[in-house]
Structure 1
Amino acid sequence: MDRIEELETALTIHCAQADHIRVDDARRLTGPGLLWDRPGAVMDVFFDDIPASRVTRLWEHHARRVLDALGWQDEDLTHRVFSGGVNLAISAPMDQLYSAIFAAQTAWHFCAAELLGAEPGDFERMIADVKGVMAEEANPPLMALIKVAAERGVDILCDDDEISIGHGTGSRTWPFDALPAPEEVDWDALHNIPVAFITGTNGKTTTTRLLEAIARASGKVAGLTSTEFVRVGDDILDRGDYSGPGGARMLLRDQRLEIACLEVARGGILRRGLPTKAATAAVVTNVANDHLGQYGVNTVPELAQAKFAVHRTLAKDGILALNADDDFVRAEAETTRANIWWFSLDAQNEKITGARERGDCCAYLHGDSIFFFDGTEEQEVLAVGKVPLTMGGVARYNILNALAVLCLARAIGISFEAIRAGLAYFKPDATDNPGRCNEFAYNGARVFVDFAHNPHSIRAVCEALSALPAKRRFIMLSHAGDRSDQDISDVTATALNFKPDVIVAAELEGYLRGRELGEIPALIEQAAAANGFSADQIQRAASPSRAAAQILEQVAPGDIALLLVLSERGEVLRLLEP
């Protein structure tokens, strides 16, 4: 059994239970997140018919009692109430995060006993057990390095296997069990590099890729993390979903790296937190209904709170770029004191006019061009028609993404010359931006492939393509089975903004998630019929690749086809190869 497994299984803390209370496993927080900017542990407690105030009062009492008994008088506790439960958290030293889990569970043990009228365990004995784990987990060399790194203003990244100080070209990494003493470190060789975090419901990946392209155009070695891979320059370090802190650490430890572009998904923020508090800039592209119901994030405003955790990653002079056209972003912005740079499709948006009056930086669309205001003067950056990603201006969501990137690029010091070059070079194709409204020519028709899956992203791409002239329009639709009947109906109705002449409903056999074969295509047909489409306009296919082939057999010169591909992406793309 290795060290980590020993720590994870060191204690089993039993708590009083009841049907109306459910407690998820406590988890480590390694950095800034939804609740605060401190490492520690958090647990999610769900309940019915109990006042949340009673639970939080018990937590404040028992968690404080546990922290003090462990000798963690300098550590703190917090909570967050949501509909149906609470998040309960404690902070802890960075070398005691497994112990923090047991400390949180111990505190909850006494909360649950009092809530349910059960006999609690022996406090002194339970504290002694946690202290035993603390002694095993303690890492004085790590804490010494953290102290000196903070004094020198250089970032330190920690995980179970390695510790690194600095970023990219200014970094050095050591095995967790072979750390140097502070006086053995060449501190003059260590430094941070420009780091940008990108989050939001939609546009994260495109924005991340575009920023990296602009950073490359500036002559720097750039890298990115995403839901698909971690890459430095042209070198893919690993494939997979790396939109969490693990991917960020992998990228930031590569000694070739000069600029880091980090895509951040909701899950990574809520599970572990973010890896640094030394970011140069961050952006929230937008906030919309998607992936609700986990970790106590049940509403879109609560999702906005989670996305805004990126402001806690910012260094002292860091910049938070925000979408002034998004209601939820504007509302949540009222809760942060970050240095905000707004961007908007409307030069007369009140956030833009207000920023200009105050002398704050901002970016906006004016006429047919993208502009940046530096606090004193405005500069025309590029005509929208020269930005391929915008498809001649019809893809307005990509104009917003370009504005977001403009803010990030200026915040990390990239020149307008490089920004213009990157915007003009980056294309909406399978090479630069795979899966995001990629266009193919097939039998004289224009065929677009997009991986959009939520209502917000589907609406954006369908509305953009509906503006393009076409003799006939074809669309391929499919949905995963874990969406409700109403969600499937609503998303289908949204997709019909494309104004298709032919709809092909594809089965997703690998994503039925409890439904029967044929059930989801039937719901798509019902939604289409309810929106005025006739039976002869609706076809079925047994899979996405068969649906795509079915459409490709029918298209003719002058037609447009939109393939919303949720699975079998490789097979669909191969059908379109010349």
Structure 2
Amino acid sequence: MRETGIAELTAGEVVVGGAGVAGSSAARHLLAAGVPVVVADTRFGAGQTTEVPVAAELRAAGARCVGIDDLLADPEWTARTGLVVVSPGFAPTHPLVVAAGDAGLPVWGEVELAWRIDHDGWFGAPRTWLVVTGTNGKTTTTSMLEAIVSAAGRAAAACGNIGLPVLDALAAQPRAEVLCAELSSFQLHWAPSIVPDAGVVLNVAEDHLDWHGSFAAYRDAKATALRGRVGVVGLDDAVAAAIGTGPGTRRVGFTLGGPGEGELGIDDGELIDRAFGGGTLLPAAQVRPVGPSGWSDALAAAALALAIGVRAESVTAGLARFTPAAHRGEVVETIDGVEFVDDSKATNPHAARAAIAARQRVVLIAGGLLKGASVDDLLTEMRERLAGVVAIGTDREIILDSIARHAPDVPAVTVFTGDDGAVNVQRLIDGAPAPVTLGSGQSDDGTGSADLVMRHAVREAATLAATANAEPGATPVDAVLLAPAAASLDMFAGYGRRGDSFADAARLLRGTDVSASR
């Protein structure tokens, strides 16, 4: 790595906002290049009595760690600063961002920093950048893309929002020549210079409106992925299909229908490329995860790989051997023919809709932090596939209200923790709440309240499924589906922890009778 050259990017200190995964990565790489770094984080305030471990690590590397409020209270901080690098969670309205803008300081995200560093030659010749974004399917598409590129014999790294910071991917050995970068709308907002070799917008639906301030701003952030040589869009999504590409960008679409010229799609059960000359790629039945969302992700990944010269046979090989990661439609248990499906990664209504659409009829467990998104369209469109809904989490009442307005015939239950720590259950009858069943249970085995709520939610869902399947002539319920349509941090440390709790609860039902408990 080059030891000097930061003057081409900034003069003075670099303030890194946030000491999470992205912020710590940016700080470490800047410090290694001899750049003076100040890391500002709410956990580093002067009034803190216990030092956070990451603060000690960053100080040992040479950073100055301060609380954000302490930094903003210093009237001289902007005079010493040449650049502010913010973590993805910092919205444009954050006080640090506003203060930097008022002082005329550039504000970048860690992806913008990585882009500049890569093209500045800090880690050798610039890499090939493939960018994946969208409301739903980013992680699966990015993972598929890495598998395809690797099958072609090219060194690839899945990075960005998928977990590995892009800067760390640039520095890693052995060297990755192709960056398969999953980028969120936050990361793209703070990466104004990025021009990938190829990028895809899978789909765009309401999400993170509290961060962006409007749907248009959210959509426009996603559109940043389409400024490169090839821009790929999901034609079956009205918003994505309407996004324009920049001048000089070749536009390629993908669809679950038969593809036209310049498109990828499905014809007679086969994934077909009519954009890059690849022809028939593989049978749709071989794609995992199964169903329409998996097929769409596979087509998108194939388009990006073909755009950089990967041969069709490598696309076939990569997709055929691909196995999706946990919490993305994973069957964790099967009881009486009903599969218990962990799609905890479905953290917005659009993702939940895709999960439901892959099944014939489900009992849905949903809820958490909706982040300003509406579930009205989800419940209206998926109403006929729902044998019941169990609502949990902070925004459960929003879900119940939407059911009452848009799907009153769908049986609904809410499970929550009362002030006394007991888990409470409330069932809706004909769209109206029934009396609360208080004190459904308290843990006597050390189980936390969130896990106890999940246990009762899964049991209620299993009972709804059994009741529906006992109705003569009814469409069978094939799954109890955890597809929350919401973020998890109100109850769990992350979507993975939420999915694990669901799986544990489902396995506890093995051998129990849930059919007569309602």
TM-score normalized by structure 1? 0.55
Return the alpha-carbon distance in structure 2 between the equivalents of residues 409 and 552 of structure 1: 42
Partner of 2:218: 303
AA matched with 2:102: Q
- The CA distance in 2 between the partners of 1:499 and 1:28, in whole Å, is 47
8 Å contact kept, 1:157–1:249: no
How far has the Cα of 1:281 moved from its partner? 1.5
Letter in 1 for 2:385: F
Which residue of structure 1 lines up, in the alignment, with residue 457 of structure 2? 547
Kindly state the Cα deviation for residue 27 of structure 1 after the two structures are TM-superposed.
7.9
What one-letter code is carried by the residue in structure 1 that aligns with 2:340?
V
Whether 2:326 is the aligned partner of 1:439: answer: no
Distance 1:532 1:311, change over 3 A: closer
- Structure 2: runs of 5+ lacking an equivalent: 1-12, 15-35, 39-63, 65-70, 417-452, 470-475, 493-497, 511-518
Q: Identify the structure with the greater helix proportion.
A: 1
Aligned AA (2:37): I
Distance change in 2, residues 1:302/1:163 (3 Å): closer
Aligned partner of 1:137 in structure 2 is none
Contact 1:226 1:264 in 2 (8 A): yes
1:561 aligns with 2:480: yes
Structure 1 CA distance for aligned equivalents of residues 205 and 403 of structure 2: 24
Tell me the distance in 2 between the aligned counterparts of 1:163 and 1:198. Answer: 19
Q: CA, structure 1 residues 364+10, in 2 after alignment: closer, same or farther (shift >3 Å)?
A: same
User: How far did 1:554 drift?
Assistant: 7.2
Q: Is the 8 A contact 2:209 2:371 kept in 1?
A: no
CA distance in structure 1 between the aligned counterparts of 2:172 and 2:193, rounded to whole angstroms: 15
8 Å CA contact 1:205, 1:226 repeated in 2: no
Provide the C-alpha distance between the structure 2 equivalents of 1:497 and 1:465, rounded to a whole number of angstroms. Answer: 11
**Alpha-carbon distance in 2 for matches of 1:158, 1:453:** 28
| Number of residue-to-residue matches in the alignment | 375
8 Å contact from structure 1 (residues 196, 262) kept in 2: yes
Residue 465 of structure 1 aligns to a residue whose secondary structure is: coil
Paired position in structure 1 for 2:366:
477
CA contact (8 A) 2:455 2:502 kept: yes
Aligned pairs for 1:143-222 within 5 A: 158=113, 173=123, 190-222=124-156
Matched, 1:324 2:235: yes
CA pair 165-265 structure 1, distance change in 2 beyond 3 A: closer
| 1:343 shift after superposition | 1.7
- Taking the TM superposition and a 5 Å limit, the aligned residue runs for 1:202-281 are 202-230=136-164, 247-256=165-174, 257-270=176-189, 272-273=190-191, 276-277=194-195, 279-281=196-198
Shift of 1:193: 3.3
Pair 1:382 & 2:293 matched:
no
- Is the CA contact (8 Å cut-off) linking 2:332 and 2:503 kept in structure 1? no
Residue 4 of structure 1 corresponds to 37
SS in 1 for 2:197: strand
* Greater Cα radius of gyration, structure 1 or 2: 1
2-structure distance, mates of 1:564, 1:522: 17
CA distance in 1, matches of 2:236, 2:465: 37
Tell me which of 292, 302, 320 is aligned to 1:406: 302
State the alpha-carbon separation in 2 of the partners of residues 555 and 330 from structure 1: 37
The secondary structure found in structure 2 opposite 1:283 is strand
**CA 1:101–1:417 in 2, change beyond 3 Å: closer, same or farther?**
same
Match for residue 199 of structure 2 among 261, 282, 301: 282
Give yes or no for contact 1:323–1:343 (8 Å, CA) kept in 2.
yes
Distance in 2 between residues matched to 1:44 and 1:480, nearest whole Å:
20
Structure 1 residues 229 and 43, CA gap change in structure 2 (3 angstroms): closer
Q: Aligned residue for 2:28?
A: none
Gap change, CA 1:259 and 1:539, over 3 Å in 2: same
Distance 1:401 1:545, change over 3 A: same
CA distance in 1 between counterparts of 2:112 and 2:366 reads: 43
Contact 1:346 1:366 in 2 (8 A): yes
State the shift of 1:493 in Å: 4.2
Letter in 2 for 1:309: T
Q: Secondary structure at the match of 2:282?
A: strand
- In structure 2, how many angstroms separate the alpha carbons of the residues matched to 1:228 and 1:374? 28
Cα distance in 1 for residues equivalent to 2:83 and 2:379: 37
State the secondary structure of the residue aligned to 1:198: strand
**Which residue pairs with 1:78 in the alignment?**
none
Contact 2:254 2:296 in 1 (8 A): yes
Partner of 2:403: 528
Q: Percent identity?
A: 20
Hey, what does 2:102 align to over in structure 1? 105
1:504 paired with 2:415, answer no
CA deviation profile, 1:402-454 (whole Å, cap 9, x unmatched): 11111111122322222112212223xxxx32222222332242121112232
Correspondence for 1:239: none
Q: Report if aligned partners of 1:287, 1:304 keep a CA contact under 8 Å in 2.
A: yes
Confirm or deny: 8 A CA contact 1:284 1:321 kept in the other structure.
Answer: yes
Aligned-partner Cα distance in 2 for 1:495–1:227: 29
Distance 1:298 1:172, change over 3 A: closer
User: TM (normalized to structure 2)?
Assistant: 0.61
- Selected match of 2:270 from 369, 382, 386: 369
Matches of 1:12 and 1:532, distance apart in 2? 54
Relative to structure 1, the CA distance from residue 481 to residue 217 in structure 2 (aligned partners, 3 Å threshold; closer, same or farther) is: closer
1:347 partner letter: G
Report deviation, 1:12: 6.5
Contact 1:202 1:457 in 2 (8 A): yes
> Could you list the runs of 5+ residues in structure 1 that have no partner in the other structure?
15-25, 34-41, 46-97, 108-129, 135-155, 174-189, 231-246, 513-519
- Please say if residues 278 and 311 of structure 2, whose CA atoms lie closer than 8 Å, have aligned partners that are also in contact: no
Maintained 8 Å contact 1:249/1:275: no
